[in-house]
Amino acid sequence: MRRLLMAVVLVIFSAAASFGAVQDFGEFTLDIPNGWKATVEDDAVEVIISIVKNDKSSSITLIYG
């Protein structure tokens, strides 16, 4: 039981350390990890949020409208 508790505590602390900041995008908020950058493109029909890792090895694109 003690091992399980220690594992849970370790996971919680390591997960909490991986996020940099919460950013507000109007209708919702996102936790943007350290080492990632979020940009917003807003046109008449839809909003495009691009989240790109600083070394450009990974990206996520969210589109809503």
Predicted confidence (pLDDT) per residue in 7-61, tens digit? 766 666 555 555 678 888 887 888 888 888 999 988 778 888 899 999 999 999 9
User: Greater confidence, 33 or 4?
Assistant: 33
To the question of pTM greater than 0.85 for the whole model, the response is no
Q: What are the phi and psi torsion angles at 2 (to 5°)? A: -65, -35
CA dist 15 → 1, 2, 8, 42, 63 (Å) = 21, 20, 11, 31, 26
